Chains A and B, each alone.
Chain A
Amino acid sequence: MFNEPVKIILRRFRDRSLESGLLIIAVALGIGAFSAGLSLIMNTIKFSNEIMSSPEYKELVVSTRSNANEMDVPVKEKLVNETAVLTSEDLEAANLAPDVEWAYVQNHSMLMLISADSSSNNFGPPGGMGAPQGGMGGPQGGGPDNGQAPPDGMDNNQDEQGGPGGPDFHRMSEEEIAEAKADADIILSDLERVSGFEVTPQFFNSWNIEAAEGSLFSTSDLRGTDNIIVLGSEFAKLLAGDDMKVSDLLGKKLLARGGYQTIVGILNPVSEEYDSKFFKPYREDNGGMRGLRRGFMDTRLRFAVEDPEQLDSTETQLQNWFTSQFGDAQIVISNPRAEAEQLVARNTGIGILILFLSAAGFFIALVNVSNILMSRVLRMKKNVGILMALGASRKDIRNLFLSESLLLAVSGGIAGVILAVPLSNYMETAAGITSGSWLFIAAGAIIAGVLTFVFGLIPARQFMKIDPAIAMRSVS
């Protein structure tokens, strides 16, 4: 399998197991550290670029002070302090900030669905299956019949819509469900609840979202009373199931606790986050619970610019407008990009430091490996003379010892990758990188393996220079 000269090398490698083992470990540690370090910095940069190019980081978020603060401030305290209230009308601040491209509202929302099976949670819309009404969520304020609402109705961090209180709900009877099931226009889902957003139309522009089927809603829908809904692509697929085309969903009515939701559009795939969600028009006066709504979950306004460079000037312009409207210290304008940039700068800095340290460690390991290999040149000197006497050319000698370096680089490289994978996973998790690519580890290991091989070239070239006549005279 191996020819005799290679056997000499392999058996020497085996017989000097301590030295060889240390060599492999040194190379493995060096390659492992280097490729993990490289992977960390590359993934940090890649991830930062990805998130920074998201529309989310090209906008300013305007909210009232109490709302901008921690969510865990006790509700009562908030109510007391509350004076300023933002509405979608305040989006007109955009008129004074020329760089604002899109201005919109995007609030979290939740739909409690009526399913054909889970009868215990099937609370129908008020007034039987009749006219749909606005509200849908559980009554956070706590109506007198709170006990009637299912427990998950209480979990309302995201449920921004104050729905009608308990009295209007009634448990849907088997007949009603059967009736709904029989109606081809009504969709019952197996899902109990689904989260989504209430948005104003420019949200779609800002995220560059288009309808794959049907249509998006427009400004006029904000004033209407119809319960219309647009579905994310994955959510639509889920609802359509196997036996319906996605486009068949258009015009169908999704039965939710708040009433029928007429499906008017289905979106193109956008992002993992949005594809499984629904989108409803944001309505100021939703279900007549305006006051309550204001109290808990104020509307946040978002102003998107085209070029992130314009964020600072736009912030000043918006600040001026809102101060003139609401007075000092009522409105908070936050710049998610500035915050994210700080985080990115910090992570990149740490990443570069780690790369530098790991590269330094790798280099030191390589110098040592090269040194040990060099000392073997001396010990192998006479053998090289004999090999040449027996017919090896200088090139044969070089290739023979290069194959040893290659063996070292490859075995060290494999062991290095085995070290690097958990190491970089750990570092990247710690740095909050979710979309890390393993390709960078592979690239790092290949670069490091090639470098190891190159350093192995130095002793191999040294072997090549040995003068056989002199080598023959040496003792060992």
Chain B
Amino acid sequence: MLRLENICKQYDLGDTKVDALKNISLEIKRGDYAAIMGPSGSGKSTMMHIIGILDSATGGKYYLEDYDITALPDKEQARIRNKHFGFIFQSFNLFPELSAMENVMLPMTYAGIPVKERKERAAKLLYEVGLEHRMTHLPTMLSGGEQQRVAIARSLSNDPDLILADEPTGNLPSDKGEEIMEILESLNKRGVTVVMVTHNPSQGKRAGYVIELRDGELCSSSTNGDSNV
């Protein structure tokens, strides 16, 4: 599904240069469940941003479905993020001004889906993550676990091919984190590719594919037995 070739990311801070990613080459196949692991500052988020086309690499090539998307115009990038990617963040990142339902509807606006359909689909997705009774609640009225479930519903709103989750359980107690993990695993079983950053080794073990980063370098990428790779 996607392939990175010698991806580098360098931050130029004037007198010093920070190499956040150095010559990363890897491939993630459709249906993969990949975990990115590594110590803090090793470049995990940076890699997620590059994969999600929120950031651009300073070197190397990025192929998405064999298309070189290293230098795509902004509008195309936005369209790919909107239609093909779903983002889940550590700090949920829901809009506090919008209800749970409206948060889920938002990405569909950029896909040009009419309001009636947006509502129907948002209701269905919230039902799937077990929040049918919280649709009109504002994020501030929801628990952390509930907020992250709204965020998952939002990431699914345009039926993405790839879910990018940056420490989705990092702000949650372990039991709530487990609920999130189960949802992500069930999505993967339905065929959605999932790339997840985690600090939790047991979560890493459950992934089919583990990418280890250290100081911006890929130090190992291993396949676990139960993966469908």
Contacts and interface: CB of A to CB of B under 8 A. Distances in A.
B124 interface: no
A7 interface: yes
Given A5-B106, A395-B75, A396-B78, A389 B54 contact: yes
A318 B54 CA distance: 87
A7 B81 contact: no
A52 interface: no
Nearest to A469: B55
Given A8-B98, A395-B75, A468-B54, A388 B49 contact: no
A392 B98 contact: no
A181 interface: no
Interface string B3-45: 0000000000000000000000000000000000000000001
Interface string A381-422: 011011111111111100000000000000000000000000
Given A4-B105, A4-B106, A393-B74, A472 B98 contact: no
B83 interface: yes
Contacts of B75: 393, 395
Contacts of B209: none
Nearest to B76: A393
B93 interface: yes
A4 B102 contact: yes
Contacts of B93: 382, 386
A15 B98 CA distance: 12
B54 A7 contact: no
Contact of A4 (B79, B109, B158): B109
B81 A388 contact: yes
Which range holds the interface residue count of chain A?
20 to 34
A390 B98 contact: no
Nearest to A394: B74
A396 B110 contact: yes
Interface residues of B, number: 31
B97 A391 contact: no
B63 to A, nearest CB: 20
Interface string A443-474: 00000000000000000000000011100110
Nearest to B54: A468
B107 interface: yes
B28 to A, nearest CB: 19
Nearest to B52: A389
B81 A8 contact: no
Main secondary structure of the interface of B (DSSP, over half): helix
Nearest to B81: A391
Nearest to B110: A391
B100 to A, nearest CB: 12
B127 interface: no
A342 interface: no
A76 interface: no
A3 interface: yes
B95 A386 contact: yes
B154 interface: yes
A7 B78 contact: no
Contacts of A392: 78, 82, 110
B55 A468 contact: yes
A391 B52 CA distance: 11
A390 B110 contact: yes
Given A390-B154, A391-B158, A8 B52 contact: no
B229 interface: no
B87 interface: yes
B54 A8 contact: no
B97 A388 contact: no
Contacts of A387: 106
Max chain B CB contacts within 10 Å: which of A386, A390, A395, A396? A390
Given A4-B109, A468-B54, A395 B74 contact: yes
Given A3-B115, A386-B93, A396-B110, 4 more contacts: A15-B97, A386-B95, A391-B110, A472-B89
24 contacts: A4-B102, A8-B95, A8-B97, A8-B98, A385-B54, A386-B95, A388-B78, A389-B54, A389-B87, A390-B82, A390-B107, A390-B110, A391-B82, A391-B111, A393-B74, A393-B77, A393-B79, A396-B78, A396-B110, A468-B55, A469-B49, A469-B55, A472-B45, A472-B89
